[in-house]
Structure formats: C-alpha cells, structure tokens
Amino acid sequence: MNNNPRTYKSPILKELIENISPEELGKTESKMRLAVKIADAIKRKGYGKTEFARKINKNNSEISKWLSGTHNFTHDTLILLQNELDIKLVNSEINEKIEIKDIHIVAETKAAPKNNFNLYGFFNFIKPDYVNTYSLSTN
C-alpha cells in the first residue's frame, strides 16, 4: 500500500497565496505574535483566562478574541495589558538612540592625498545628531 498522501496543488489557491503582499502577511503575523506574547504573559502571571478577565473587568469572550490573533488592538488596550502583565507592548520612547556602528565613505580624488585629508572640509560632512560614534576609512 502506498502510504504517501496525494498532493494536490490548486492553481486558484496558488494564485491567491502568491497575491498576498508581504505587508499584509506581516500584519497578520504581527497580530498573532502579539497574541502569543499576551497569552504567555497571562500564563506567566499565573492567571487563568477567566481569572484574568475578572481582574481587568472584561468578558471571558473578549479575552479569547484578544488571544485569537485576529484582534486589532487599540492603544488603550495595549497600555492596559502592558500595565497589568508587566510586559512591553508599546514603545513610545521619543529619544531613542540609533547606533550606527560603521560608516564607510569611499572618496576618489586626484587632487587630495589618499590619506590624512580633512574629510569634513572636503565634503562639508556634518555628523547627524543620532550618530554617536563613527569611523571613516579611505581605500
């Protein structure tokens, strides 16, 4: 007996899947990952679903909806969950520092020497505020 399952690939389904944009897929995946994060935090805190619903004055069905990965959370709900579960769901930091570790500028010139020239003067290079450290190299 052949134990292998028959594989059938529907051309219509294939086309539908191919037409899903990475952005759309990303939105769905993000919602589901968020739900997992919340579900894990509820578990970590030692609550059952019903117990948690009672604690935050919500219906059990609403918690199920949140955890189903289909829900489009409002900012208020995320803040509520963040505070109740001690997890980070919203990043509202304004002065977040971006660390750029390496900047390579390749300058080709006949007039200036290859090494030891003043790149600031040459390019009027202004260090952006969000760059903490940088290095320049010439090849």
Q: How far is CA 95 from the centre of its chain?
A: 18
Binding segment for other proteins among 19-27, 80-88, 103-111, 122-130 (CB under 8 A)? 19-27
Identified binder of other proteins from the candidate list 39, 79, 80, 107, rule CB under 8 A = 39
Q: Residue-wise over 12-21: b if at least 16 C-beta within 10 A, else e? A: eeeeeeeeee
Q: Is the dihedral of CA 110, 116, 122, 123 positive or negative?
A: positive
Judged by CB, which is closer to other proteins: 64, or 137?
64
56 part of the interface to other proteins, by CB under 8 A: no
Footprint on residues 72-111 left by other proteins (CB under 8 A): none
50 part of the interface to other proteins, by CB under 8 A: no
Identified binder of other proteins from the candidate list 8, 9, 13, 107, rule CB under 8 A = 13
Evaluate whether 81 touches 38 at the Cβ level (below 8 Å): yes
Cα separation, 38 vs 71, whole angstroms: 12
64 part of the interface to other proteins, by CB under 8 A: yes
Identified binder of other proteins from the candidate list 9, 11, 19, 91, rule CB under 8 A = 19
Judged by CB, which is closer to other proteins: 33, or 127?
33
Q: Supply 54's token pair.
A: 């009672």
Judged by CB, which is closer to other proteins: 45, or 71?
71
Cα separation, 70 vs 58, whole angstroms: 18
Cα separation, 105 vs 136, whole angstroms: 6
Contact residues: other proteins, CB under 8 A: 1-3, 5, 13, 16-17, 19-20, 24-25, 28-29, 32-33, 35-36, 39, 64-65, 67-71
